[in-house]
Amino acid sequence: MKVKKREAFDHIRLSSLCLIDRVKLQSGMAMLAVVAIILSVVTFATITTTQSVQQFYTHEKVRRDSESSKVSLKQHLKNVAGALRSQSVTNALNTTDVDYLSTTIEASALEGTEGQPLTHFKVKVSHDSDNSAYTTHFLRYPSLLRLPTPLQHLSWDNQVTNWLFNRDISSLSASFFAESESLTQCHNMLPANVYWITGNCILNSNALAHHSGSNPILLVVVNGNLTLQANTHVYGLIVMLSTSHNSFTLKVASSASITGTYVANTPITEQINGAIVLSTPLLQTLQASTPLAKIMPIPGTAYDDL
């Protein structure tokens, strides 16, 4: 009887242990399932985050490449415009050629209200690798915007710089002209078409040997006297400027001459023994000359050409 009770007890104990093991197993499997779910969520989140990061860097690279391409196009436009200021369309294309960029230029000759020679350019540059393109319109115009009026010839006008260059004397300097020689005296002058002299200027027959009626000059003398010695001939426009209350003198020797005209912004003392020949055609040649040309983008005409 005791044996049977013990067997029954052992059976119950074994059954309890099996039940406990089964419960533990089920709990363990449930825990594993939870862990698996968590791992799946983490894996999904990691993959999603990785994809998002990759997409971000991809988009960022595209954006940066696009910005870099746009900067490259705009810089090239500036280079082309700089070349067009003084060169023909063909030469400008040749001197600014870049292997990975394509450039097209359309040019139209215009005339200003005062007869100024103007040129309108439509310039389009495109990037060969991504087909991005940028277009801007430019206007080439003379820095000598207007010729002296009959009242300004051989005389003075306190607004003469505003009329000639569209600049007040306070904002006018040698840097206004794209090609100029800025000097403090008139000895050993290099060949040029625009001279900005600060101080006294004494010209002899050799100083301007390079210029002529077909190659006139603009000579600006600021706060100084101008003297043309014997056999010195000036072809072009002389502008005498004073930024003070001092009076300055123009001296022309008997065998010297000025062909074109001279003007001033204040009264000057004239000691003219040589010839003064007014010449509008010569001044028009000067106005149309390349060294006096300027170029600017036309506001509101720049756009992405997609």
∠ CA 302-304-178, nearest 5°, is 35
Q: Mapped to the 3 state alphabet, what secondary structure does the chain carry? A: CHHHHHHHHHHHHHHHHHHHHHHHHHHHHHHHHHHHHHHHHHHHHHHHHHHHHHHHHHHHHHHHHHHHHHHHHHHHHHHHHHHHHHCCHHHHHHHCCCCCEEEEEEEEEEECCCCCEEEEEEEEEEECCCCCEEEEEEEEEECCCCCCCCCCCCEECCCHHHHHHCCCHHHCCHHHCCCCEEECCCCCCCCCCEEEEECCEEECCCCCCCCECCECEEEEEECCCEEECCCCEEEEEEEEECCCCCCCEEEECCCCEEEEEEEECCCCEEEECCEEEECHHHHHHHHCCHHHEEEEECCCCCEECC
Task: Say if residue 61's pLDDT is above 60.
Answer: no
Task: Say if residue 127's pLDDT is above 90.
Answer: no
Is 165 within 8 Å of 178 (Cβ atoms)? no
Region 63-86: mean pLDDT is: 82
Amino acid 294 reads K
Task: Say if residue 62's pLDDT is above 50.
Answer: no
Predicted confidence at residue 47, as pLDDT, reads 67
What does each C-alpha distance from 195 to 49, 108, 237, 241, 305 come to in angstroms?
Answer: 67, 30, 11, 13, 42
Predicted confidence at residue 104, as pLDDT, reads 95
Residue in 249, 204, 207 with CA at minimum distance from that of residue 225: 249
Tell me the pLDDT band of 261, cut-offs 50, 70 and 90.
very high
- Residue 168 backbone phi and psi in degrees, to 5: -70, 150
Domain boundaries in the chain? 1-36, 71-142, 155-291
The percentage of residues in the chain with a pLDDT greater than 70, rounded to a whole number, is: 78
Amino acid 30 reads A
Predicted confidence at residue 120, as pLDDT, reads 97
Predicted confidence at residue 10, as pLDDT, reads 57
pTM exceeds 0.85, yes or no: no
pLDDT digits (tens, 9 = 90+) for 98-122: 998 999 999 999 999 989 999 999 9
Is 125 within 8 Å of 74 (Cβ atoms)? no
Report which of residues 54 and 278 the model is more confident about. 278
Strands 133-142 and 117-127: antiparallel
Task: Say if residue 36's pLDDT is above 50.
Answer: yes
Least reliable range by pLDDT among 63-67, 105-109, 119-123, 187-191: 63-67
**How crowded is residue 199: how many other Cβ atoms within 10 Å of its Cβ?**
13
Tell me the pLDDT band of 53, cut-offs 50, 70 and 90.
low
Report which of residues 198 and 47 the model is more confident about. 198
Which residue is associated with the tokens 């991504």? 130
pLDDT digits (tens, 9 = 90+) for 266-305: 999 999 999 999 999 999 999 999 999 999 999 998 877 6
- Residues 83 and 95: their CA atoms lie apart, in Å, by 8
Task: Say if residue 255's pLDDT is above 60.
Answer: yes
Tell me the pLDDT band of 209, cut-offs 50, 70 and 90.
confident
∠ CA 130-135-136, nearest 5°, is 150
Predicted confidence at residue 131, as pLDDT, reads 77
What is the average pLDDT score of the chain? 87
How long, in residues, is the chain? 306
Predicted confidence at residue 17, as pLDDT, reads 55
Report which of residues 82 and 52 the model is more confident about. 82
Region 154-176: mean pLDDT is: 97
